[in-house]
Structure 1
Amino acid sequence: MIIRLLTPADFDAVDIVHRAAFASTAFGHQGEADLVRHIHADGDALVSLVAEIDGQIVGHALFSRMEVEADGVPLRGAGLAPVGVLPDLHSGGVGSALIWRGLEMLHGQDIQISFVLGHPDYYPRFGYSAEAARPFASPFAGPHFMALLLDKSVRLPESGRARYAPAFGPER
């Protein structure tokens, strides 16, 4: 498996991955493919990676710019979404490889905190927790809204806020 940066030539294949990945979930969302294109068009993509096996794109993960404030101080933040893997390869390590590589790249960009809205049994393996996200105002508060401090010198605030890139819509 090769993990590499997404190129403009990859968008159609990434669309297929996300449509297949999310059609097979209980959520059945189909907006993830469009979301990837919008985030890139807006210039808010920080890290956008594809997983390739035998020349076929089988997975994609995107970290986008977020507006984050902790106790009145801005933090450099990234949101992880979407992450998609072709259904036949679920539980095969493709998604994990994409996320680990993306987190490594965020460290290189001096991103201080990352958020994800996802399954509370999956994302903690990467260090995300609902506890770390709790101080941040968000319409997604609860066990599915998680954060990961990437900069160990940053402490959790008493209060804060986290806003996703505009492509996510007015609620985020």
Structure 2
Amino acid sequence: MPDTPVIRSARAEDAGAIDGVIRAAFAATAHGYQGEADLVRMIEADGDALVSLVADAGGAIAGHVLFSRMYGEADGAALSAAGLAPVAVSPDRQGRGIGDALIRAGLDALRDRGVAMSFVLGHAAYYPRFGYSPELGARFASPFAGPHFMAMMLDSGAAWPQGGRADYAPAFGRLGQDL
């Protein structure tokens, strides 16, 4: 299919299109919250973006995913971790597997970088398909702890830590303050 998007690293010149995709995608949700676009800009400005990918459909950005640096520890040792947030797909392209492809490509990129774990705060019915587990997430103290806080080992053969702490990049804490 000629308009099948290609997943690639985001570039500086994509910033406006990424912002538009995120705003359109979240405006289409029940809560209509727009903080996700601001969050991406703050994470990028702080230098905390680890993996930022777009779905490029012939020069038009159809989707975006961001994985940002997380700070924490697991079983008393420093933790190399990333947080997934947000993932967005243009409303006219949703339901075509673009979000799935972006997340999977992002997780592969994190593995290539040697990141040990990824965390997400999201729908418990959606994210386990990628390997995220609420049970693993519950082992970590976090300001976002709760039933929607999930984690995954990026090496599926690695043992789960017994516990630790996971903190998202500082932009997550500033989101409401900086707007």
Q: TM-score range by the shorter chain?
A: over 0.9
Alignment of 1:156-171 (within 5 A): 156-169=160-173
Seq. identity, %: 61
In structure 2, C-alpha distance between the alignment counterparts of 1:140 and 1:35, rounded to whole Å: 16
- When structure 1 is superposed on structure 2, of 90-99 and 24-33 the one drifting more is 24-33
Is 1:115 the counterpart of 2:119 in the alignment? yes
Misfit runs of 4+, over 6 Å:
none
Is 1:25 the counterpart of 2:25 in the alignment? no
Cα deviation digits, residues 84-141 of structure 1 (max 9, x gap)? 0011211110000000100010011000000001111111110001011111012322
Please report how far the alpha carbon of residue 71 of structure 1 lies from its aligned counterpart in structure 2 after TM superposition: 1.8
Is 1:37 the counterpart of 2:41 in the alignment? yes
Please report how far the alpha carbon of residue 152 of structure 1 lies from its aligned counterpart in structure 2 after TM superposition: 4.3
Please report how far the alpha carbon of residue 37 of structure 1 lies from its aligned counterpart in structure 2 after TM superposition: 1.3
In structure 2, C-alpha distance between the alignment counterparts of 1:155 and 1:42, rounded to whole Å: 32
Paired residue secondary structure (2:50)? strand
Alignment of 1:38-117 (within 5 A): 38-117=42-121
Paired residue secondary structure (1:158)? coil
Paired residue secondary structure (1:163)? strand
Paired residue secondary structure (1:80)? strand
Q: Can you give the 5+ residue segments of structure 2 that lack an aligned partner in the other structure?
A: none
In structure 2, C-alpha distance between the alignment counterparts of 1:59 and 1:153, rounded to whole Å: 30
In structure 2, C-alpha distance between the alignment counterparts of 1:82 and 1:15, rounded to whole Å: 11
The partner residue of 1:125 within 124, 129, 134 is: 129
Please report how far the alpha carbon of residue 68 of structure 1 lies from its aligned counterpart in structure 2 after TM superposition: 2.1
TM-score, normalised by the number of residues in structure 1: 0.94
Q: Can you give the 5+ residue segments of structure 1 that lack an aligned partner in the other structure?
A: none
Paired residue secondary structure (1:169)? helix
In structure 1, C-alpha distance between the alignment counterparts of 2:154 and 2:125, rounded to whole Å: 20
Q: Alpha carbon RMSD of aligned pairs, Å?
A: 1.5
Paired residue secondary structure (1:84)? strand
In structure 1, C-alpha distance between the alignment counterparts of 2:144 and 2:75, rounded to whole Å: 19
Paired residue secondary structure (2:159)? coil
TM-score, normalised by the number of residues in structure 2: 0.90
Q: Do the aligned residues in 1 keep the contact of 2:143 with 2:167 (CA within 8 Å)?
A: no
In structure 2, C-alpha distance between the alignment counterparts of 1:170 and 1:53, rounded to whole Å: 33
Q: Do the aligned residues in 1 keep the contact of 2:48 with 2:169 (CA within 8 Å)?
A: yes
